[in-house]
Structure 1
Amino acid sequence: MGIYDEHLDRNAANYQPLTPLSHLARAALVFPDHTAIIHGSLRRSYAEFYARSRQLASALERRGIAPGETVAVMLSNTPAMLEAHHGVPMCGAVLLSINTRLDAAIIAFQLDHSETKIVIVDREFSGVMAEALTLASVKPLVVDYDDPDFPADAPARKGALIGSLEYEALVAEGDPAYEWRMPSDEWDAISLNYTSGTTGNPKGVVYHHRGAALMGYGNVIAAGMGKHPVYLWTLPMFHCNGWCFPWTLAVQAGTHVCLRWVRAKAMFDAIADHGVTHLCGAPIVMSTLINAPAAEKRDFTQTVTFNTAAAPPPQAVLAGMRDAGFEVTHLYGLTETYGPAVVNEWKREWEALEGPERAAQKARQGVRYTVLEDLTVMNPDTMEKTPADGETIGEVMFRGNIVMRGYLKNPEASAEAFRGGWFHSGDLGVMHEDGYIELKDRAKDIIISGGENISSIEVENALYQHPAVQTAAVVAKPDEKWGETPLAFVELKPGREVTADELMEHCRARLARYKCPKEIVFAEIPKTSTGKVQKYVLRKMTT
């Protein structure tokens, strides 16, 4: 024991667990009157945001929610979703944000697997949630969220009330001065996010308070957020907890501009009317913006930072965004890394590049976030780093404090993911000489469409359920609007016939619509001598 180990112990005065909840508490103290949330006609200050989050936490505790228990939400990008991100962990509970595009069976699995005690559901999704609750074994308290600013021109999308309590009534049960709980340990779980389920059921990714707090700082740096940024919610908040931006904005006392649906006019109006400085999204959002009719576009004077983390945007889209006043930053990450953990750190000397050269630099995934300790490319078998030559392919691996705790109730999957002391992403890439990584393929054949992960195996399994299908192989096809879409190659059994439309309908009955193939090609599928489908050959046929 050295001199620096004597009488210099941790204590309450010099050590407190990191938590993103402290970001909101500070913002409310320093900027109580600054606008925290804009949603339709609603304006909510930081003082109000903080008070309502504490009120929700208090109400959940009074309803019997104990630390470490799960509160699920199925909400759009609304104030209730922002309050849930703070209020749920403020009482020590764990937030499960359910993907609003999922089918009832998967939702039921998540409710059961997470042992959900309370579920808060937006009326837009009450139909599928009602079906899921009939399939689930758990019987949570169901709370309806009836958004007062639900667009009046879309009444058909507003479902029935299915709960025993309305959200505002729940909040009213709580105390706005509630003394919220600091986590007893920064390693305590703050949220649960399910993967897309590449094989079997989806895995539950557990985030901790420390990682979520650090992501607040990391996102501010990566996105270049100065004081009082204005953030437009085009990215679903259910997606990796909105890449942790629901917690991030309070670091710089920014304004959340809520948006239920991604529509060109609504985005341009928000950018022009509220002075939006930042937004995130998949290539589909960029395409929506630059291809909007002139009547839906608005002029704005500020440069808007657009963070994208799906498939690399096409060169034409990047050029169109730049001309329209947007600066695109390419990010990369996974659910297991709290969303983006890698940023294409743009260098001044690259500003002189044009056309393909500039696009090639933009398309690289980049370098580690400042709050990620290490990022590399390795041979997954030998666990040796690949040479930084831009050619040798290996598996992209992460190490640091913004890597998940592990998979809920799945020690085998956690051990495999952390084999050798690194998180194995399953993504294949190369390391360039300057330390920037670039993805080359996805080891699990995941298709990223509109920012959502689609398992090719899941789509293939649906196709195989048709009696006429002998072999099915699904690959990603580049798409200017969605980034990628599923393309299915199908080989029929001898003497059997089926049309592409019939197979499409077959898939729609078994999969969420966004997972269904956008195109079906009937062909003899190339295989190795052992019968394994050669997907790399099929991918060459998609370009």
Structure 2
Amino acid sequence: MPLVLGSLKSGAGSPASTAAAGLRSATTEYPARAAPTRITASALLLNVTMFAAFLRQRLGACRPISLCAFRPILLQVPASRKMLPFKRTAPGRVLDAVAVNGAVSVAVSAQGSTAYTDPNTLLEQHARRRRDKIYIESIDQRSRITFGEFEALTRRFANFLASERVRAGDRISLLADNGIEALVVFWGALRAGVIVNPINVEIREKHVSQILHDVAPKAVFWSRELPSDPRGLGAGGTPWFAFGAWNAPNTAGDDLFARLGGASDAPVAARPAPSDWSLIDYTSGTTDAPKGAIWTHEAYYAMCESPIERLELGEADTILDYRHFSWSSPQILSVGPTLLTGATLVLARKFSQARFFGWLRDYRVTVAVGIPTVINMLLARPVAVTKADLPALRFMTSSTAPLSVEKHLEFEKTYGIPIVQLAGGTETGFMCGNAPGHRKLGSIGRPTLNMRVRILDDAGHELPPGQEGEMVVSGRQLASAYWQGPDKLVPIPQNGFRNGDLARRDDEGYVYITGRKKDIIIKGGVNIASLEITNCLLEHPDVADAGALGVRDDIYGEVPVGFVALRPGRSPREASLLEHCRAKLVAFKVPAAVVVVDTVPKNANGKLDRDALAAVWQQARR
């Protein structure tokens, strides 16, 4: 049975008594984040004794629980936290420290969670407990919706699907920009047990056509605000439903939200089981066509649960995101966690450097989602803003691509805003993450709640701390299979998925990405990680963004080439950039050339577009 966790205080009305009451429920309710508190040894013993008695009462008829099956971790319950002044800048430096005075270490069983609550139950709970609380603030739409309104709309949408003969287990596709309406379709379909396929409207049209062909949806839902009508991209015979604003006073009769007004508002009978399919998401396609991956409802829940636990997210949080909701990353860092916890989601359609800090201030954001490209942009054109100007902000995240140590340090020095790094992928969710008060410089953190991470050599042997190998992951949040069509599922190994990242771990279990296995440049038989060259170029004071690529060479077979976008007003010569690399890298890793570009090309998910880089190189050679 899922547990409801509170602080270690006893007494009527206390968080502990609230938690005990919550244990009588079959669903998980994440509590609001509480301030760190002290606890005496006697009080701790009393709480443990009371909890043991509770378990004996509730689980007495069940089989015994073997404590040996659980892996203990250390939970710090600090009296206070403080930043300590470190001068060392090497990867692995501890960025935060917990004040020792008054802190208590408590052993906790944490092999992984077994919690699951279906989306219907979650939304029904929110409608009862926080009906009038704002769930989504849609910045570009200048619109907001409460949990109560959102539950009612998604309930009607689930019933509308049934009236259109879209049943549990069927598939729908969704084409829209970030907005309240898109998330109504997203969550409403999940409530009905219908598989959702959100499509990134910024990818190439040929890829949209490929996705629609492979998914073969029972229906397609699309926003009238898209710059062009997408209906020609799909197969004939599939019904398409257009929608405008959910709260528009006058809408066309065929508009989806006009039709929802006449849909049944009866409770949704479906209760998706943990093993039912939930989502088909597509990878970003850095070098080839995107691949679809499919999850169960349990896996999607677990993918959201891991960052909630690691980042200490709760009802009191307000999370800002601006990445397209079709990415798996926002689905599991903002869209899903806000629904699981009852937090507020502040949603923009694109990142805006001019408006970013205003968003943080005006919406009292506590957690700002970030990616290295955004961090580099904020550093390239710094503004006079510090953490003191944003009192609600706890931290900014960085994920989707590696963040260099130099940019991390420069950002925190410039703005005073802590960066918390995580790492994951479409197939895996967040594999590793730092905790807000326990970060290490250059590390993606420790394995998350529902993941096991191993570092293996090419022969499949696990490597000791300090040695580089390939990351191999497993856990209940893994995607089940690659989707190649209704009858073409390619299983993803659940006992060891190789995601292509090269990494090492330290003695405390923190993981450090060292490169991508397929991004290795082989120069004369010697392996060079393109990430190492990228990070070297980013250390140059005139460089705002960088990338590296292996290109063909008649002598060595392949040589590295660097690409840089410069800070405004800077114009270093190529010789200066190469000299910088010679001072930082061993000779055989120094790029054969460095090409200056207006922007380093990225795909729709913010990852390096290697096909575009190769085209830039071909153009530069002419």
TM-superposition CA deviations, 1:213-247 (whole Å, max 9, x none): 22333222222223321111223211116242312
Unaligned runs of 5+ in 2: 1-60, 65-113, 522-528, 555-596
Which 10-residue stretch deviates more, 278-287 or 29-38? 278-287
Corresponding letter in the other structure for 2:432: V
Whether the 8 Å CA contact 1:206–1:404 is kept in 2: the answer is: yes
The DSSP-based 3-state class of the residue aligned with 1:48 is helix
Q: Distance in 2 between matches of 1:371 and 1:322?
A: 33
Offset, 1:403:
0.7
Equivalent position of 1:315 in the other structure = 406
Give 1:193's match in structure 2, choosing from 264, 272, 281.
Answer: 281
Equivalent position of 1:24 in the other structure = 123
Q: Distance in 2 between matches of 1:524 and 1:168?
A: 51
The DSSP-based 3-state class of the residue aligned with 2:613 is coil
Equivalent position of 2:468 in the other structure = 393
Offset, 1:96:
0.8
Question: Alpha carbons of 1:147 and 1:483: their partners in 2 closer, same or farther (altered >3 Å)?
Answer: farther
Offset, 1:332:
0.7
TM-superposition CA deviations, 1:9-51 (whole Å, max 9, x none): xxxxxx9964344333322221111111112432211100111
TM-superposition CA deviations, 1:425-458 (whole Å, max 9, x none): 1212122222122121212339xxxxxxxxx9xx
Percent of residue pairs bearing the same amino acid type: 19
Alignment of 1:128-147 (within 5 A): 130=230, 133-137=231-235, 139-147=237-245
Q: Distance in 2 between matches of 1:364 and 1:336?
A: 21
Please give the TM-score of this superposition, normalised by the length of structure 2: 0.63
Equivalent position of 2:425 in the other structure = 334
The DSSP-based 3-state class of the residue aligned with 1:330 is strand
Which 10-residue stretch deviates more, 231-240 or 397-406? 231-240
Q: Distance in 1 between matches of 2:177 and 2:477?
A: 25
Equivalent position of 1:248 in the other structure = 337
Q: Distance in 2 between matches of 1:141 and 1:167?
A: 12
Q: Distance in 2 between matches of 1:30 and 1:322?
A: 41
Whether the 8 Å CA contact 1:90–1:180 is kept in 2: the answer is: no
Whether the 8 Å CA contact 1:475–1:487 is kept in 2: the answer is: yes
The DSSP-based 3-state class of the residue aligned with 1:85 is helix
Q: Distance in 2 between matches of 1:172 and 1:393?
A: 58
Larger radius of gyration: 2
Equivalent position of 2:477 in the other structure = 402
Equivalent position of 2:616 in the other structure = 520
Corresponding letter in the other structure for 1:143: F
Q: Distance in 2 between matches of 1:81 and 1:297?
A: 34
Whether the 8 Å CA contact 2:314–2:342 is kept in 1: the answer is: no
1:54 partnered with 2:142: no
1:103 partnered with 2:209: no
Equivalent position of 1:495 in the other structure = none
Offset, 1:333:
0.8
Please give the TM-score of this superposition, normalised by the length of structure 1: 0.71
Give 1:176's match in structure 2, choosing from 262, 265, 271.
Answer: 265
The DSSP-based 3-state class of the residue aligned with 1:517 is helix
TM-superposition CA deviations, 1:507-530 (whole Å, max 9, x none): x9x9999842288346999xxxxx
Whether the 8 Å CA contact 1:116–1:138 is kept in 2: the answer is: no
Alignment of 1:276-425 (within 5 A): 276-292=365-381, 294=383, 299-309=389-399, 310-321=401-412, 323-337=414-428, 339-345=429-435, 361-372=440-451, 374-380=452-458, 382-388=459-465, 390=466, 392-409=467-484, 414-415=490-491, 417-418=492-493, 421-425=495-499
Q: Distance in 1 between matches of 2:604 and 2:194?
A: 32
Q: Distance in 1 between matches of 2:605 and 2:511?
A: 33
What is the total number of aligned residue pairs between the two structures? Answer: 443
Corresponding letter in the other structure for 1:342: C
Whether the 8 Å CA contact 2:402–2:513 is kept in 1: the answer is: no
Q: Distance in 2 between matches of 1:188 and 1:32?
A: 28
Which 10-residue stretch deviates more, 306-315 or 198-207? 198-207
Q: Quick check: which one's helix share is greater?
A: 1
Equivalent position of 2:353 in the other structure = 264
Corresponding letter in the other structure for 2:482: Y
Question: Alpha carbons of 1:165 and 1:242: their partners in 2 closer, same or farther (altered >3 Å)?
Answer: farther
Q: Distance in 1 between matches of 2:183 and 2:605?
A: 26
Equivalent position of 1:449 in the other structure = none
Which 10-residue stretch deviates more, 193-202 or 222-231? 193-202
1:74 partnered with 2:172: no
Alignment of 1:410-489 (within 5 A): 414-415=490-491, 417-418=492-493, 421-445=495-519, 477=534, 485=547, 487=549, 489=551
Whether the 8 Å CA contact 2:127–2:147 is kept in 1: the answer is: yes
The DSSP-based 3-state class of the residue aligned with 2:232 is helix
Corresponding letter in the other structure for 2:370: G
Q: Distance in 2 between matches of 1:303 and 1:93?
A: 36
Q: Distance in 2 between matches of 1:191 and 1:93?
A: 9
Question: Alpha carbons of 1:489 and 1:27: their partners in 2 closer, same or farther (altered >3 Å)?
Answer: same
Question: Alpha carbons of 1:73 and 1:286: their partners in 2 closer, same or farther (altered >3 Å)?
Answer: same
